[in-house]
Amino acid sequence: MRIIVIGGGVAGAAAALALRRIGAEVTVYEAYANPAGDVGSFVSLATNGLRGLETLGCLAEVQRRGVDVPRQRMWSASGTLLADVPRGRRGRDTLHSATLMRGGLVEALRTAASEAGATIVTGERLTDVAETATGLTARFLSGHRATADLLVAADGIWSTVRGALDPAAPRPEYAGLYAISGVSHGIDVEPGVFNMTFARNGAFIHLAARDGEVWWSAQIADPTEPDRHGVTDTEWLRRTSELYRREAVPSAVIAATTHLHPAVIMHAVDPIPTWHSSRIVLIGDAAHPVGAGQGASIAIEDALVLAGALQAGPSIPDALAHYDAERRPRIIKLLGTAEDNRGAKKAGPVRRRLQAAVMRVFMPLFYEKATAWLYDYTPDTGLNTNITTMSERATR
C-alpha cells in the first residue's frame, strides 16, 4: 500500500512510523524545511500518549529528551495551594508524564520514522488532492505531483486537506487566549512538579527542566486577538511582566527570562463532521485540535488506531470508517474537557474564587476517577511492536 502523509509534525511523523510498522510504503511531505525548529515551546505527554510511543518503540528516546514530571500543583493567584495531583497519569501508574520541547518530540519521531524506512520530504506544500476510484493524486506548490492509494492528512489546525474534503468544514477561530513562553535561569523550582497558577490575567505554567532551566508559559486571556506583527521579544516580555506583576512566583520567573519563544495565538475549531472519504483521512489537529494538554498524545493514539485499522482491513474505505468510529466518541468527550480548561484559564475574579473552592474539594476526592478514561486508554491495534527498524537490521 502506498501512503502519502501530509505534514511532518507529531501526528504526521507518528503516523509514518506506525504505517511503516504495518509494511506500507510511506512518503511524508512537510511544508517547512525545518518543522522541528523553535515552534511553540514545550509539550507534555500523558500516559496515554507515552504508552502509544512505547508501542511505536520511541518511549525511551522521548523520555531521554524530556523531563520526568510526576506531580501537578495548582495555585491560586495569591499563591495558595489549591491541589496537588498526579500529572497526566493515575496515581498508581509508575509511568510518569514527560515534558519536552515540541521540536525535540518531532525530531525523535521523524528520526524513528526515517529509520523505519519512511521517506520524509521537506519544503513541499500540498495545494490540492484529486481522488479517483482506484487511487489519488496530490499536487504541491512546487509543481510536484505524487500518486498513492491513501492520503493521511496530518497538516495541523489550518489543514488544507480538511477544506478539500469538505468545503463547509468549520474553520479555526481565536480561542480568547494567547501563549507567551520562555526559558528562565537562576530560579529555584522543585523538580518533577508542573505548577499551574490561575492568575488574574490567565494561567501561568512553570516547571524545572534540566541544567538549571525553568520552562514557563503564560496563557493570557484576551477577548481581542493580539496583533503579533512587528512586536519584538522585549515588548512581549514587558507586556507579560506587566500582566503578571501581582503574582509573586510568576513575576519572579518571568523576570529571570533568558530566552523567549515566538508568541502562539490559540485557536479552537467546532467538531469537524467529515474526517475521511474513501482514500483520504484526517488525523491529529487537522481532525480535532483538542487542547487540554492532550494534542500530542491524542495525535499518537490516532496514528496507532489508523495503522491498526488498515492492517485489519478488509479495504481502505472500511479501515477509514473503522478509524472514525473508534476515535470519535473519545475525541468528543475530550473536546468538552478542553473547553472547560480554556474556561478555567479565562475566568474572571468571581469565577476564579468559585473555581478555587471547587478545586480544593473536588481534586483530592474525584480527580483520579474523573481522569481514568483519559489516561488508562490503550488503543487495541494489534500492531507488531517487535518489528525492527532498518538501522537495527543493518547492524545485525
Ligand X SMILES: Cc1cc2nc3c(=O)[nH]c(=O)nc-3n(C[C@H](O)[C@H](O)[C@H](O)COP(=O)(O)OP(=O)(O)OC[C@H]3O[C@@H](n4cnc5c(N)ncnc54)[C@H](O)[C@@H]3O)c2cc1C
Whichever of 50 and 316 has its CB closer to ligand X, that residue is 50
Shortest Å, Cβ 281 to ligand X: 13
Q: Residue with the closest Cβ to ligand X?
A: 295
Stretch that binds ligand X, among 16-24, 63-71, 149-157, 195-203 (CB under 6 A): 149-157
**Binder of ligand X out of 107, 115, 247, 285 (CB under 6 A):** 285
CB 207 within 8 A of CB 66: no
| Per-residue interface string for the shown chain with ligand X, residues 327-366, x marking contact by CB under 6 A | ----------------------------------------
**Binder of ligand X out of 182, 293, 308, 379 (CB under 6 A):** 293
Whichever of 250 and 295 has its CB closer to ligand X, that residue is 295
What does the CA dihedral 273, 50, 19, 308 come to, rounded to 10 degrees?
-70
**Binder of ligand X out of 55, 160, 251, 257 (CB under 6 A):** 160
Shortest Å, Cβ 158 to ligand X: 6
**Binder of ligand X out of 3, 4, 5, 10 (CB under 6 A):** 10
**Binder of ligand X out of 26, 112, 126, 208 (CB under 6 A):** 126
Q: Which of residues 23-82 bind ligand X (CB under 6 A)?
A: 29-32, 35, 40, 43-44
Shortest Å, Cβ 13 to ligand X: 8
**Binder of ligand X out of 264, 344, 363, 387 (CB under 6 A):** 264
**Binder of ligand X out of 86, 117, 182, 295 (CB under 6 A):** 295
Whichever of 122 and 360 has its CB closer to ligand X, that residue is 122
**Binder of ligand X out of 155, 247, 301, 326 (CB under 6 A):** 155
Q: Does 169 bind ligand X (CB under 6 A)?
A: no
CB 104 within 8 A of CB 76: no
Shortest Å, Cβ 59 to ligand X: 15
**Interacting residue ranges for ligand X, rule: CB under 6 A:** 6-12, 29-32, 35, 40, 43-44, 102, 125-126, 154-156, 160, 179, 264, 266, 284-286, 293-297, 299
